[in-house]
Amino acid sequence: MTSRPDPLLRNIAGSARERSAGEPLAHENLAEIIGFNVRALRQQHGLSVSDMAARMGLSKAMLSKIENAQTSSSLTTLSMLAQGLDVPVTSLFRGADAEREAVYTAAGSGPMITRNGTKAGHAYELLGALRGQHKRLESLMVTLSQDSDAYPLFQHPGTEFIYQLEGVMEYGHGISSYRLSPGDCLQFDGEAPHGPTKLVELPIRFLSVIAFPDNTSH
C-alpha cells in the first residue's frame, strides 16, 4: 500500500494549509504571525524543531504548537523565543501591521514603456512592478512584430524569466543560444548579455519577469 503524499506543498520558509470554500483568505491572527516568523527564523538558523526546542528550553511539542498557531505564547515564552533565535522580540511580530502589496493590471491596460535598444515593431507592455522587502519584481509582455537587421541587447542585475507565448525565436544568453517556441521558458542571470538573435516566426510574444536585487535602479 502506497502512502498518501502530503497534499500541501511549502517552501523552506513558508506554510500552507487547507481552506474551506467560505473562509476568507486574510484571517491571520497574532498566533499565526508569530508561528510563521518563528518557523522562518528557525529555518534560517538551519535548526530542526528538536534542536531549537532544546536550545530554548522548551519541549518539542510546545515549539511545534507555537509554529502551527495551536497555542498562544505568553510574554515569558516570547522572550525565550527571541533569546533562542537571537532577535528582538519585535521580530516575532513582523507583518502583523503591514499591508501586503499587490498590483492588478487589466488585460491590455499596462503602460507601454521604452527600454534601451527598443526598435520599431518591438513593444514592451509593463504588466506590473512590485517592490517587495528584498527585491523589485518587474513583469513585461514583449511583442516583436517586425524583423530588423539588428536586435536589442540587454544587461541588468538580477534574474530574468522568459515564457514564450507565441511565435518562434532564437534567444541568446552569453555565448549560448536557445530556440524558444510556445510553451518554452528560459531563466537566466541578467548580468550576461542577452536578447533575441533571430526572429524565426512572427509575430512573437513572450512574458518577461525580472527580479532585481535591492537598491537597483534601471
> CATH code for 112-212?
2.60.120.10
Alpha-carbon distance 198 to 57, whole Å? 63
Of 110-114, 120-124, 141-145, 176-180, least confident by mean pLDDT is: 120-124
In terms of pLDDT, which residue wins out, 142 or 16?
142
Residues recorded for the chain: 218
Domain coordinates of the chain in residue numbers?
30-93, 112-212
- Which grid coordinates belong to 15? 506554510
Q: Residue 14 has what pLDDT?
A: 57
Q: Residue 100 has what pLDDT?
A: 64
Beta strands 112-113 and 176-180, pairing class: unpaired
Alpha-carbon distance 142 to 210, whole Å? 13
pLDDT exceeds 70 at position 132 = no
pLDDT exceeds 60 at position 73 = yes
Q: Residue 164 has what pLDDT?
A: 96
In terms of pLDDT, which residue wins out, 207 or 117?
207
Contact between residue 171 and residue 196 where contact means Cβ atoms under 8 Å apart: yes
Q: Which residues pair with 189 in a beta bridge?
A: 159
85-99 tens-digit pLDDT? 888 888 888 766 666
pLDDT exceeds 90 at position 180 = yes
Work out the end-to-end distance of the chain between its first and last CA atoms, rounded to an integer number of angstroms: 55
Average per-residue pLDDT for the chain: 82
pLDDT tier at 130, thresholds 50, 70, 90: confident
Topology given in CATH for the domain delimited by 30-93: 434 Repressor (Amino-terminal Domain) (1.10.260)
Nearest to 207 by CA among 124, 151, 148, 135: 124
Averaged pLDDT for residues 6-34 = 64
Averaged pLDDT for residues 174-197 = 94
pLDDT tier at 128, thresholds 50, 70, 90: confident
**R_g of the chain computed on alpha carbons:** 23
In terms of pLDDT, which residue wins out, 147 or 4?
147
Beta strands 176-180 and 159-173, pairing class: antiparallel
Q: Residue 149 has what pLDDT?
A: 82
Contact between residue 139 and residue 128 where contact means Cβ atoms under 8 Å apart: yes
Q: Which residues pair with 138 in a beta bridge?
A: 129, 210
Alpha-carbon distance 199 to 146, whole Å? 9
47-64 tens-digit pLDDT? 888 988 888 888 999 998
